[in-house]
Structure 1
């Protein structure tokens, strides 16, 4: 017999919680912020907005719906079940943070602060949360499937991201490698790393780089399976070049990197501690992932 649905609430520790961890008491946290020209009332209000959103959705769910809650920093150790419905309460980046750990489970993005968050991925008001959970359970929800990017090491290890992958030195300093691009050949490079982004990521890190290079119109759309890649600050020398500075990857095409530094890393969506280490001589390939984000839009 199949288990009933479980709603897993995903959240990120608020600035208020982090302040209390660091300063132990409300008074000390308030003094710390005041000494830097800030008010604790604003920080507390943001914390309470997130908690209120979670409380509204969780207390409105039917009694037969099991519930769990996981913090962003624990996602790489959390086991999601096939029947789970994920509710991300917070900023857009929280959806990206959880997407890489899922295998098709639907994700509902709840925006507790519409005046602060863009709402690209967390599109729904807290008051809509219970209705959307019910639509998912009944098979009536509108699902938007978003492409993801995957890195694969030559030893079989993989890493998936929704927005973008960073490939390069763990300290974002000089990275040495040989880059091979489909139909464009290979080039030895020394750079501050490579960014490979999806259509979803075209509003993030990729957008910033593309804007600086007047390439915004070239980025993939959110519905596209294509990827965009950019080499950051490639350094030309007698041994290294910068001809392969940017490009795209159609579905099925792979970007290849062979490390020529002692240690490079690959990590996705800003979660640096969950990464693939790339040793000297190892080969990493990057392309569109088979898995997709199942984003509930209505």
Structure 2
């Protein structure tokens, strides 16, 4: 007879450590060590990280097995895994693993656990392994606060779709220019750029912040160049006083995780006789989606949250509608 306090299923999601990935690549620990040390890196750091993470996994399995039915799931299997409606999902971080799991869930609560607090800060990892025995039963009873997270959705005209927790990227696999037609709120524009980034509230402190900070710095530098300042002086000022190169209101604004809108930015738009660069930043609302029609003969892609291996092909003639997702993520806090 089981001593579990519940028969609810708990899906524990783990990832490969850097050491495990090296062993896959080089076949043995010894060969991996030779490779790392030849580069002058400290191989013991890989050993310690692996040991701590494996210990966290073992402890989490023991703790969770005393509470409910546990299924251990590797990161690479998450996109094809069918989560039950009543499942509770526990992710043994880092933050990226939380984001890349959340987009595949449908209202199941997600608990982010920091496996190594001395190594990882973990904005999305508020709990440690030792907290699980207390937290999970409270989640089962509906006694824990849950933070809703707005998701982005890319839907193609052939029915395929992809969700994003932090952001979506629309462009080409390589660094060559992407060609497409952009439509928003009655405006249409032919563009050539290095891609489009669509950010959520959660992603406002990531890629979006980086793009805005760069745009502000470039604009200020351009203004000084127009005023006759020496280019070298402008560059030196940015290096020696980086704080002045950032617009505090733009680059440090943090949106709520459940912010009701999305924001898109066009990277390096190139104006020419056939392309424009006016519609390069804007807001996507519930009744105002962004529509993009690909004009790329090959290598056009849409991926989310930095995972290039999980993508939608976006080649000539395919239309993508970028909108707020019909579902929201649910993070236990």
Question: Which range, TM-score by smaller chain?
Answer: over 0.9
TM-score, normalised relative to structure 2: 0.84
Aligned residue pairs, count: 294
Hey, what does 1:282 align to over in structure 2? 318
The answer to whether residue 289 in structure 2 is matched with residue 254 in structure 1 is: yes
Mean Cα deviation higher: 212-221 or 17-26: 212-221
Hey, what does 1:212 align to over in structure 2? 214
Does the 8 Å CA contact 1:252/1:288 hold for their aligned counterparts? no
Hey, what does 1:75 align to over in structure 2? 78
Hey, what does 2:176 align to over in structure 1? 173
SS in 2 for 1:134: helix
SS in 2 for 1:87: strand
Cα drift, residue 33 of structure 1: 1.2
**Equivalent position to 2:152, from 134, 149, 163:** 149
Cα pair distance change 1:254/1:219, threshold 3 Å = farther
Counterpart-to-counterpart distance in 2, 1:25 and 1:126: 30
Hey, what does 1:189 align to over in structure 2? 191
Cα pair distance change 1:220/1:226, threshold 3 Å = farther
Hey, what does 2:202 align to over in structure 1? 200
The answer to whether residue 129 in structure 2 is matched with residue 94 in structure 1 is: no
Q: Which has the higher helix share?
A: 2
Cα drift, residue 278 of structure 1: 2.0
Give 5+ residue unaligned stretches, structure 1.
none
Counterpart-to-counterpart distance in 2, 1:132 and 1:171: 44
Give 5+ residue unaligned stretches, structure 2.
1-5, 217-249
Mean Cα deviation higher: 111-120 or 241-250: 111-120
Q: Which deviations, in whole Å up to 9, do the C-alpha atoms of 1:1-48 show, x marking residues without a partner?
A: xx9311111122110101112222222222221111112211111112
Hey, what does 2:238 align to over in structure 1? none
Structure label with greater radius of gyration: 2
Runs of 4+ in 1 over 6 A off after TM superposition: none
Does the 8 Å CA contact 2:93/2:122 hold for their aligned counterparts? no
TM-score, normalised relative to structure 1: 0.93
Hey, what does 1:58 align to over in structure 2? 61
SS in 1 for 2:98: helix
**Equivalent position to 2:106, from 103, 106, 122:** 103
Cα drift, residue 283 of structure 1: 1.2
Hey, what does 2:275 align to over in structure 1? 240
SS in 1 for 2:25: helix
